Structure 1
């Protein structure tokens, strides 16, 4: 075979990725994890990694063979030297409209309460079409270069902002078609669903092929508000994506109310709930009862560990003791789908981040102690959010699927999670893309620098 180095994927429509390692949890046959690959049991494994050669032909995965077999004589190949290969990332919970605003509107205290006030200031002063477009596009370029193939953003949707933001989103979705599959969910307080404006908003979301969303938290009229939300979604055929219980109040059980509302209204669409922080401070008896309702209602949970760690239990001059990350192993053990996502990026809610799926996974594993073993947690940034978003490509590796892959020099999970992996190769339909990240200087004029 004609072998290229790790950093040089053959520039041809037909080649092999030789001597690769794939996480077992991400390897399927015909898209069905229960359908075993005949040679799989005989392949050398470490940390639930499978040694394979990957044939790429016409932009898709044509063959998966044991790495112990030789690549055909004369075939173009890139020897990965046992490097890991993942499917591209799926980032299901982001806020592109807020992204990259930190340098013009910061959060001096770092608290959730001040973040809410500061983002209102930034939105009123700056959020016009050009400002939104440029910051959102910058964020998309970051995500794409890191190896993301699909992304959902929440868009603040109060009053006239909804039309402006969804218009910009529709433009970006069209321009990025074929590179990033984009979805948008509306974001506004649950109390808005007691007003007349939400009907027009639901129509706008439907016209934009979007997802209906809201911020749900305890209040005296929560059940009535949720009923209105579910009914609007049902009549328009919209899925739901909610921010739920983003606080450390043990009495906050909006998540349970959401599950009960879905069942009560006979809602047939997909529902996912982000954050669910209050579960982490409740007694196990209370949390377990909520988890049972969530499972019964077939609701997925999205954890945003980096943003929750940044905001929750923050008091100036005191070490945070309650970190706000939801009950990841407990939810998963009860059969609740759990995904990890980026959330905010360089704004008042989270001052850092770059929409890198690997960073999200790395931090989630460390924060949640999800190793020993890692098991199928890699699905939380690939297959699980892909299913939640209803994507046609399932977020696993199988023959016949598009060769949308991220190749790392790291040979084990330990190596993968120990360095940023800045030298990764990202393949889209089998072709290596430019992974150069956009320069922050591009936004200087927007940020008054």
Structure 2
């Protein structure tokens, strides 16, 4: 194991050496609301794009919202001149996950970087998630209305299945137990037609196809969510892994991708108690599909500080104190052993017990109550198996949300909002 104190972007050199030939790098976060994680992830991603030629960043966000950011950072003809404006248009709660000053700074840098490169060599910004059923459906209508009006009927039939539930898609999940499979069949029909239309080259056709995949994934997600348990989590992460693979194909045979998502998605589920519950995640799926040499998983963690979170689902975000990590946790051990900031690159025969043994590892979602620290918010983890590297910040501060308009978001699965 190699430990490098972090003070400047150049201190990521040992990690870049580990990444050198990898095709996929997943960079995590222990919370969705911590400035330090976003800032360090930005610094690392800039180097991956500028020095190693990575092709895109794919985030734990909705495809339509991130498509507006993508068109801005790639200076597409219909793209906004300032990607911050695209981020401020995020509406789904919790908006602060991506509509924040830290992501805006990275997006502005990416637009400036891309402006000096040919169109086919510009780095993209994409969303992996499954929640945007209505937004994706509208995007399909817009596309088919211009490109293939004869296929509008399939889209309209799929729309009519969901229309009775309005934005209350949890009710669709409840009712799906008692009604026929017609909605599922119409969504599959829509997906097939859109996929056929998207067979030709072109970003607009690909985006329509991806929106159809979102509609299909969302339909499966809401049906699975009713049953509880792990199925809805797995539907979501398989959708994100499939989207990542489609993006690699889109960007070409030499494409290399960066993923930004919570540790709970990035770190290999097989090295946690998630595996005992039958859960998978995108880190595990990427290793299984692409091999461990082509995938580098990077986790994040801290001992104490502040973060942006909400006390309950859908309520306004606020800066919240993260108390010192509990005894026996990964974070408490690193607090005792490490510098204030460090990057750890795992590997080699002589790794310490706290790397190979199972210890509690903190995970904070968009809903957070510090009083639960004594019994919740931790995932039993074998750190050196879950990640290839780990970025440590002893004390952290909350990030800076943009003034986006928040609409109620869809309920996420275990843990609370990750």
Normalization by structure 1: what TM-score? 0.31
The structure carrying a bigger strand percent of its residues is 1
Normalization by structure 2: what TM-score? 0.32
Higher RCO structure, 1 or 2 (CA under 8 Å, sep 6+): 2
Choose 1 or 2 for highest CA Rg: 1
The structure carrying a bigger helix percent of its residues is 2
